[in-house]
Structure 1
Amino acid sequence: MTDIHEKPGGPITVDSSRDSEELTNEVHLNEKRLLFKIDTHVLPILCVLYFLAFLDRINIGNAVVFGLEEDLGMDPKSNQFNTALTIFFVPYVLLEIPSNIFLKKLRPHIWLAGCMFLFGILTIAQGLVKSYSGLLATRFFIGVAESGMFPGCFYLIGMWYKRSDALRRYTYFFNSTTLAGAFGGLIAYGTGHMQGMRGYGAWRWLFIIEGSVTCVVAIVAWFIISDFPEQARWLNEEEQQWVKKRLMADHGDDSVERSIGFRDVVEVLKDYKIFLGALMYFSFLVPAYGYAYFSPTIIESYGYSPLQTQLHSVPPLAMAFFVSLGIAFVSDRVRHRYLFVLFNLLVAIAGIAILLTEHHNTKLEYGALFLVVFGPYCGMPVALCWFTMNLGGHRRRAIGTALQLGFGEIAGIVSTFLFLSKDAPYFHTGYSVAIFFFTLASFWSTCYFLACWSQNRKRDQLIAQDSAEARMAGEGDLDISYRYML
């Protein structure tokens, strides 16, 4: 079995077949203990950070149930609320790639904590607005501040773990959104009892309290967010060496010190698989945001009171939290992604089909929501991890992840107009679009699977033939020895 070596005419590369046990023996470390140490330093704060980011993003869906539109003089029969949702995504989409470049230059703890503090302040301001125009302004700048959160956290996690270890960690992180949806309903239920306190409506207290908590956590996060493995002060020299070798063996040699320029962005964009990953995420995200923003409105249409609506929004997401953890564990054990993505999409399609056809049995309709959440909250983490961890090296992963997430967030613009008040209570347009995009996600996932399978097969053939191309080195996942996870 080969070691780290210099390829003729190329940079240093690593045989990806080297396993972690061999590396562990070299430096005499307890792998499980060190992985646990990494987990406890890296994951908890990022999960809390994204929990609050997603909560501050979607709490407007709970706020509208408490009279936000009436208090700000908005016309419930118009599309003003949908426009307020949409304006968030304009800067969010445009700034994700620049954000990951800044994160790499400034270091993660500075960039992520700074963004977090800013959107906390803006969320408080959202609770103090006096007009519809003020709501639009705060939503826009919350989009600016939050644009660095998801791609930055996703990129950072990917630089700490091997592909075979990653999905469980990504699922813990992604479940922050599931918990945000679930706890958002519980928090909204609590603030519902604050209606009229100090002259503020319940929806204002919702924004003010959640924004204040975000600011406090952001200050703490500055001191405890971990940077890249090469910069982590809580690892000793021997541990850093182990982590570095382990990651090089899995996704290539690309140092954090190497800067990212415009030419790097262009080079990454030449890979068609990047666009397949972006289209896959986009297709998932249209119905995902539809559910995140409008599930309180949908549940309220079943005849529940505002407080009952908030409570009934919790169980489907609580179920998704535990199911997604089980799926992640099994997928990591078998080292396969595609079939798990497809299974969750098919379950979600079945749920949407029930909502499209059943309009008189509210218990069945509510039960169908438990199936719908399989798509965005159980399948999407697998798809995101699959794509992200198939990108090797700092630069390709930073750019590729930001492009996928940035392009995918265009879905937010589409999804905010799916469930219009004029379509209540049956929402045929929203459900029809959702089932279409879940089907489209199945198609793009299949295309990505075939692309990775084809690349792996081609590289096997080149190495077997010992061709000149097989001896040429490439960066990260472009190296001939690299094999994509399927």
Structure 2
Amino acid sequence: MASTDEPKELDPATNVSQNNLAASTSSRDAEAIGINEKSLLRKLDYRLLPPLTLLYLLSFLDRSNVGNAKLEGMTTDIKMSGNEYLNGLTLYFVGYVLFEIPCNIVLKKTTPRTWLPTLTLIWGIVATLLGVVQNYSGYLASRFFLGVAESGLFPGVVYYISMWYKRNEQHYRVSLFFSAASLAGAFGGILAWGIGHMRGVGGYSGWRWIFILEGLVTVIASIIAYFWVYNYPSTAEFLSKEEREFIQFRLKNDSDATRDENFTWSAVLDTFKDPKVWLYCAGFHTMSLPLYTLSLFLPTIIKELGYSAAQAQLLSVPPYAVAFILTLTVAIASEKTHIRAPFIMGTSALACIGYILLLSDHRAGVSYLGTILAAAGIYPSVAIVLSWPANNVSGQTKRCIANALQISVGNIGAVIGTQLYRVETSPRYFLGHGFALGYLVANIFVVGVLWVVLRAENIAKAREIEGKESRPFGEENGEFEDEVFLGDKDPRWVFQT
């Protein structure tokens, strides 16, 4: 957060003046000590984002490849009904929801280098074991523990990114990281098509090899991640002493990332008492149902349009490819304009059009276009929704818990969604498509309410400090005993809208 010595710099609508002032000040200080700020940011991106993006790609691949395995005969071999298959999808999200907050508490008490690769190793082992399950009970247990192990990655990484980048830099990085989900969908279809041809190798069906091979890749990646993931700027080995100090400096007046904040239960309680946090939760809840129903059921939806299983695997690639491109495009536009809510509402409306096509026209070509528009709208919206509290919540423990709470509450929508695409509703799946459309409309409403609330609080903050002299945000981070750190309650903290 930038200094607000002059009230006119507090623009409650966009905060553009603040961001430009902070950027120019930061650039001058960088030049003074011989550091190229843009080069330093690129260095951080190259070092931090590739391992995180790879881990999330594998995470999304390992949770959604069950849809590809179903097309390759998993339910027949394990002697499960279609609705019993859905119960396993539900149990995954039950484990996911229950353990997200505990996982982020562990992250806060340990380090990213220790915790994130350990989670990856555990879910990689579970994902591999899915390939050797012999009955319905084994399928249910594997899906539940896969959800438990994967629950800490996304909220942990969102919090981690907030400790490295300034607030107006975080959204693009979170979106780049989240775009791995759409890449996973695209790769999943291609891989499943190829691996499916291994049926009979080693006496195993093709669907078993999907789990085994993709799970083993995750295990290998987790071992590499112990050496590839870094902790926080103050200890990162790839930075020089001057670069560490400059990163600390540029964060100091922008957020709480440089504070030496210990975990406290009072900060956890403060998170639960903030109505805005619950609106962030509702924002993701209304996106998680369409997000996960699409990622889990897209191959089946396409197959029911009249295509073969092999064709459906390959035809699941284009919707994700379009979603990947649009996710990055919208992220760049949102970052440059410092606007969040209108982009979410716009892309959610695009997804609504996709589901309207799926519900209203039975022709295969039109319905397939609907899946492309649905994916193209859902993924950009989710990326912004998930990065929003990382931009707007302060201090560290509150933000850490808010990130986890948002995804926990949000994924209750996924729990509901896993029961909607039932066998008896095929091939048109009116129930599932109708719920997804209703949730997207609700998302537009919730985001609109949050937009109004944040703008109103910005205006109130601007009026509160107008005409007052105040030190920059970073100066009271424990340096002055007579001042209390207020986090996002500080009148100088401007919410990104």
State the TM-score bracket (shorter-chain normalisation): over 0.9
Please give the TM-score of this superposition, normalised by the length of structure 1: 0.93
Verify: 1:49 aligned to 2:55, yes or no.
yes
| Matches of 1:254 and 1:38, distance apart in 2 | 17
* Aligned partner letter, 1:61: G
Instruction: Name the residue aligned to 1:121.
Output: 125
Q: In the TM superposition, what is the alpha-carbon distance from 1:111 to its structure 2 partner?
A: 0.4
| Matches of 1:422 and 1:253, distance apart in 2 | 51
Conserved? CA contact 1:268–1:400, under 8 Å? yes
Instruction: Name the residue aligned to 1:28.
Output: 34
Verify: 1:208 aligned to 2:212, yes or no.
yes
| Matches of 1:331 and 1:141, distance apart in 2 | 36
Verify: 1:351 aligned to 2:351, yes or no.
no
Alignment deviations for residues 301-351 of structure 1 (CA, whole Å, 9 cap, x no partner): 011111111000000110111111111111111111111111101111111
Residues 104 and 82 of structure 1, relative CA distance in 2, 3 Å threshold:
same
* Aligned partner letter, 2:97: V
Conserved? CA contact 1:251–1:477, under 8 Å? no
| Matches of 1:115 and 1:301, distance apart in 2 | 36
SS at match of 2:305: coil
Alignment deviations for residues 59-105 of structure 1 (CA, whole Å, 9 cap, x no partner): 101100011011001123xx101100011112211111111111122
Residue of structure 2 aligned with 1:287, choices 285, 290, 295: 290
Residues 47 and 253 of structure 1, relative CA distance in 2, 3 Å threshold:
closer
Instruction: Name the residue aligned to 1:313.
Output: 316
Alignment deviations for residues 107-146 of structure 1 (CA, whole Å, 9 cap, x no partner): 0011010010111111111100111101111111111111
Residues 287 and 479 of structure 1, relative CA distance in 2, 3 Å threshold:
same
Instruction: Name the residue aligned to 1:478.
Output: 489
| Matches of 2:149 and 2:91, distance apart in 1 | 13
Instruction: Name the residue aligned to 2:300.
Output: 297
Alignment deviations for residues 375-428 of structure 1 (CA, whole Å, 9 cap, x no partner): 321211122222321123322221111111111111221110111110001111
* Aligned partner letter, 1:484: F
Q: How does 1:41-440 map to 2 (within 5 A)?
A: 41-76=47-82, 79-252=83-256, 255=259, 257-359=260-362, 361-440=363-442
Residue of structure 1 aligned with 2:456, choices 451, 454, 470: 454
| Matches of 1:399 and 1:247, distance apart in 2 | 20
Q: In the TM superposition, what is the alpha-carbon distance from 1:3 to its structure 2 partner?
A: 6.8
SS at match of 1:95: helix
| Matches of 1:451 and 1:474, distance apart in 2 | 23
| Matches of 1:295 and 1:415, distance apart in 2 | 13
| Matches of 1:393 and 1:41, distance apart in 2 | 25
Please give the TM-score of this superposition, normalised by the length of structure 2: 0.91
Verify: 1:441 aligned to 2:413, yes or no.
no
* Aligned partner letter, 2:442: L
SS at match of 1:407: helix
Alignment deviations for residues 35-74 of structure 1 (CA, whole Å, 9 cap, x no partner): 0110011100000001001110111011000110110011
| Matches of 1:75 and 1:100, distance apart in 2 | 36
| Matches of 1:210 and 1:72, distance apart in 2 | 20
| Matches of 1:392 and 1:296, distance apart in 2 | 41
Conserved? CA contact 1:254–1:395, under 8 Å? no
Residues 174 and 114 of structure 1, relative CA distance in 2, 3 Å threshold:
same
SS at match of 1:323: helix
SS at match of 2:156: helix
SS at match of 1:175: helix
Conserved? CA contact 1:274–1:400, under 8 Å? yes
| Matches of 2:469 and 2:39, distance apart in 1 | 42
Residues 358 and 2 of structure 1, relative CA distance in 2, 3 Å threshold:
closer
Conserved? CA contact 2:3–2:492, under 8 Å? no
| Matches of 2:34 and 2:484, distance apart in 1 | 30
* Aligned partner letter, 1:136: L
| Matches of 1:202 and 1:144, distance apart in 2 | 26
Structure 1 stretch displaced more, 163-172 or 214-223? 163-172
- Unaligned runs of at least 5 residues, structure 2: 6-16, 474-482
| Matches of 1:4 and 1:296, distance apart in 2 | 52
Conserved? CA contact 1:301–1:424, under 8 Å? yes
Q: In the TM superposition, what is the alpha-carbon distance from 1:254 to its structure 2 partner?
A: 5.4
| Matches of 2:322 and 2:3, distance apart in 1 | 45
Conserved? CA contact 1:16–1:249, under 8 Å? no
Aligned residues: 472
Residues 2 and 114 of structure 1, relative CA distance in 2, 3 Å threshold:
closer
Q: In the TM superposition, what is the alpha-carbon distance from 1:156 to its structure 2 partner?
A: 0.7
* Aligned partner letter, 1:371: L
Conserved? CA contact 1:341–1:379, under 8 Å? yes
Residues 231 and 16 of structure 1, relative CA distance in 2, 3 Å threshold:
farther
| Matches of 1:261 and 1:93, distance apart in 2 | 22
Q: In the TM superposition, what is the alpha-carbon distance from 1:21 to its structure 2 partner?
A: 3.0
